[in-house]
Amino acid sequence: MKSLLLSIFLLAAILAKGQRSEFVLENGWKFSKGNFENAAKVGFDDSKWQTVSVPHDWAIYGPFDKEVDKQVVAITQNNENEATEKTGRTGSLPHIGDGWYRTNFHLPALEDGSRVLVIFEGTMSDPEVFVNGGKAGEWGYGYAYFNLDITDMVKADSDNLLAVHLSPKPLSSRWYPGAGLFRKVRIVIEPKSHFELWGTFVTTPFVSDSLAQINIKSKVSGHNLRIETAIKDASGNVLASGAAQTLFGNEFEQNIALKDPQLWSPESPTLYYAESKLYDENGQLQDEQTTRFGVRTISYKAGEGFKLNGEVRKFKGVCLHHDLGPLGAAVNKAALRRQIQIMKDMGANAIRSAHNMPSMEQLELCDEMGMLFLAESFDEWKKPKVKNGYNRFFDEYHEKDIVNLVHATRNHPCIVMWSSGNEVPDQWGSEGVKRAKMLQDIFHREDPTRPVTVGMDQVKAVMESGFGAIMDVPGLNYRTHLYEEAFERFPQGLLLGSETASTVSSRGIYKFPVEKAVGKMYDDGQCSSYDLEYCNWSNLPEDDAVLQDDKDWVIGEFVWTGFDYLGEPTPYDEYWPSRSSYFGICDLAGLPKDRYYWYKSRWNTDESTLHILPHWNWKGMEGDTVPVFVYTSYKSAELFVNGKSMGVQTKNNDSKLERYRLMWHDVVYEPGELKVVAFDDNGKPAEEKVIRTAGEPYRIVLEPDHSTIDADGKDISFVTVSVVDKNGIPCPTATNQLNFKVDGSGTYRAACNGDATSLELFHLPTMKLFSGKLVVLVQSTEEAGDITLQVKGKGLKTGKIILESK
């Protein structure tokens, strides 16, 4: 309440100057599932409704139920010809049905001519918006950003009611979509003369070592105006400035020279700030805004590939769905920051928002942390994949959704490409070609600085129809065996692996015999982490790596996926219980699988990688063969079992698997110590790694990603919980049930163990270890102080850690 009163006071102070203001409607919302006849009315009694904060996902709290959105369907993208029952396809969480949100917000006295907007960044889904009992508008697509002008519906110097009705449909998604107001909601008050929402576009059409041209186009409302802009660095120093007073239609254009620009890149994500002020003919300030941007150049050309700031580089990218594991679809910046950092540590330099419009928070972080971004829009166009998907909205909304996407996000330097669709059924025939060109033309019209791609899985079809030939950047989803033919037939002279690999695995689970397998399933609903299993439409990472490393015209890849996500439990679509994916390089908790180190050994060139798999705890398998793989950035290594050499293995470019993995196939298991010694290019020992057989679980160990978090009620420390034996050796097969307690200036938020077959609810303070680990999320309150996390388990020494919130 204190922060709300402060924001209202500041708002009134700002408005007294006649300038814009905005505030986020975050706390104090009332929510209830169900449909209520008078829920939009001012006098409606919502006192018994749940009080929540937005962003909010009502479905993540469960329970898991295989009857939720049970779909009888043939998934054509998975090469299925016959419809079968799919239980966990959308996560088996209760996201379907009606839900209502209500909140009151106070408006101060408004100047004549002021406009009031409400802005939504993500509403799952089919939102209807009401203000003070009257309907303000509606939208279709749950991932879309949209705004409504509510000036004529609000009361100045008074409280106002905002009510939102959502009604997610069954058969509307191919993965867990979440449910609710899962992204920010804002109120913006614009003065009579103002900068239009999302109406400013900053580009850098000329860049050299000594000079950059900063072009700023600003749409405004009003007459007899003048604009002044100062370019500042992150410390607030003014580096350049400019002014303009000639309007072209309703738009100012400024060209400002910036000397000695620091270019934005993944290695050095320098950001600048354009502070623009709007004055009337009397010199009175009418409005002001700050636009953050970066100085960088991009190009895509045959014979050169993709260039950033004049230097060729390849996309080392991952695809990410929008859910955040145990947090569901509700946006949380700390969780997004953790995801990005884990991927950067692996060596990734790019993210694809598959298959939806990204959150503003994700883009802000990618700007700040240096991550290239492929911003995707739709998973469907006119032709459906699921009955109630985007096909319902396409005719009415496709242009509005693209325009809002581009206008709202185009100043983010991280975005280097747009995607207008993913594996759309419209790839077949001339009708699809026309549709693809129409959508691409809208992107070009709204942003002529970036190219457009589509994730194409029907490669033969798009070669025949011309669909692939018209794309700025032809994106191929899998189909590595068709890369050469597509390159020869498409005119662009380059190809993008817009979606690659789809290798499946469960963290810490190993199956015998160790063999390459397609769509293999086991009685326990897990996949082997030897990283040799994939789907009938995909492939092993090596198939992509060879193309990426050997073909200059392949400009990079986006691996499916960086993290496991809720829903799409392939290959266990028909298996229960299974409610999340197996594709991730990291599991649903964000814990790295073995494959993480395979990618790190190729992508992270700043540090060495040396990783052994599997674990060395195979009670009952003494004397049996247990193959050992090593993922490493070194070319060769020697393996030892209890001090006895298993020989030296060297990477071999003549074999796909041996080119990227060191493998000892005939190791005989005996308990004890497994050690690998890696050699440098001169054949000298450079690094070693040891894993040991563990005894019985004895003690709980807690490792936070951050020991200090912000006291803002939103920041999170992700604490990895594991168990060790009496000698401190990790127990990688432990499945102990643990209980969590948080005291002090924080709260228990959720837990996740990464097990796709677990039906334990994330928000309850108890969970089993999976492959010896899980992650506990500790969230701050708005009070500074110490936070204590205690983790207990039967027969185990308690784990305890103190975090600081400030």
Q: Is 60 exceeded by the pLDDT of residue 14?
A: no
516 is a domain residue: no
**Paired residues of 762 in beta bridges:** none
Mean pLDDT of the chain: 96
Question: Which secondary structure element, helix H or strand E, spans residue 719, and what is its range?
Answer: strand 716-724
Helix (H, G, I), strand (E, B) or coil at 541: helix
**pLDDT grade for 46, boundaries at 50, 70 and 90:** very high
Domain C-terminal end among 146, 165, 190: 190
Backbone φ/ψ region at 795: left (φ over 0), alpha (ψ -120 to 50), beta: left
* Residue 768 CB burial class (10 angstroms; 0-12, 13-18, ≥19): middle
Phi, psi of 647 (to 5 degrees): 100, 170
Q: Computed from CA positions of residues 552, 555, 559, 562, in that sequence, does the dihedral angle turn out positive or negative?
A: positive
* pLDDT value at residue 521: 98
Same-domain status, 111 and 135: yes
Q: Model pTM?
A: 0.97
Q: Is residue 527 part of a domain?
A: no
Do 638 and 645 touch, CB atoms closer than 8 A? Answer: yes
Q: Are residues 405 and 490 in the same domain?
A: yes
Q: Among 137, 172, 190, give the residue marking a domain's end.
A: 190
pLDDT at 11 over 50: no
Q: Which domain holds residue 230?
A: 194-293
Q: Do 130 and 218 sit in the same domain of this protein?
A: no
Q: Is 45 helix (H, G, I), strand (E, B) or coil?
A: coil
Is 89 inside any structural domain? Answer: no
Is residue 487 in some structural domain?
A: yes
- Mark whether 342 and 279 lie in a shared domain: no
**Is position 73 within any domain?**
no
pLDDT tops 90 at residue 97: yes
Phi and psi at 398, nearest 5°, equal: -60, -40
Q: Give the CATH number for residue 733.
A: 2.60.40.10
| Same domain flag for 203 and 288 | yes
Residue 133 has pLDDT above 70, yes or no: yes
Same domain, 115 and 208: no
Query: Are 266 and 368 part of one and the same domain?
Result: no
Residue 12 has pLDDT above 70, yes or no: no
Task: Quick: pLDDT tens for 600-652.
Answer: 999 999 999 999 999 999 999 999 999 999 999 999 999 999 999 999 999 99
CB atoms under 10 Å from CB of 784, counted, come to 12
Cβ neighbours, 10 Å, residue 281: 10
DSSP assignments along 247-259, one per residue: -BTTEEEEEEEEE
pLDDT-based confidence at 1, cuts 50/70/90?
A: very low
C-alpha separations of 561 from 12, 345, 380 in Å: 46, 16, 19
Q: What is the CATH number of the domain that holds 25?
A: 2.60.120.260
CB 163 within 8 A of CB 198: no
Q: Do 315 and 365 fall within a single domain?
A: yes
pLDDT number for residue 83? 87
Predicted local distance difference test score (pLDDT) of residue 80: 85
The verdict on 754 and 782 lying in the same domain is yes
Question: By three-state DSSP, how is residue 11 classified?
Answer: helix
Q: How far apart are CA 277 and CA 21, in angstroms?
A: 14
Asked whether residue 657 is domain-assigned, the answer is no
Mean pLDDT for the stretch of residues 547-569: 98
User: Of the candidates 270, 293, 316, which is a domain's last residue?
Assistant: 293
Question: How sure is the predictor about 75, in pLDDT bands with cuts at 50, 70 and 90?
Answer: confident
Higher pLDDT, 13 or 754: 754
H helix or E strand, kind and range, residue 576: none
The reply to whether 252 and 127 lie within a common domain is no
Question: What total of structural domains would you count in the chain?
Answer: 4
What is the per-residue pLDDT for 71?
87
Residue 688 belongs to a domain: no
Q: What is the pLDDT, as a whole number, of residue 18?
A: 56
Q: Are residues 347 and 419 in the same domain?
A: yes
| Residue numbers annotated as active site | 423, 499
Whole-number pLDDT of residue 633: 98
Q: Does residue 571 lie in a domain region? A: no
Residue 5's pLDDT band (cuts 50, 70, 90):
very low
CATH of the domain at 488: 3.20.20.80
Query: Does 138 lie in the same domain as 207?
Result: no
Would the pLDDT of 6 be above 60?
no
Least confident of 4-8, 121-125, 293-297, 725-729: 4-8
Q: What are the beta bridge partners of residue 241?
A: 230
Residue 753's pLDDT band (boundaries 50, 70, 90)? very high
* Band of residue 78 on the pLDDT scale cut at 50, 70, 90: confident
* Nearest Cα to Cα of residue 148 among 125, 165, 128: 128
**% of the chain residues with pLDDT over 70:** 98
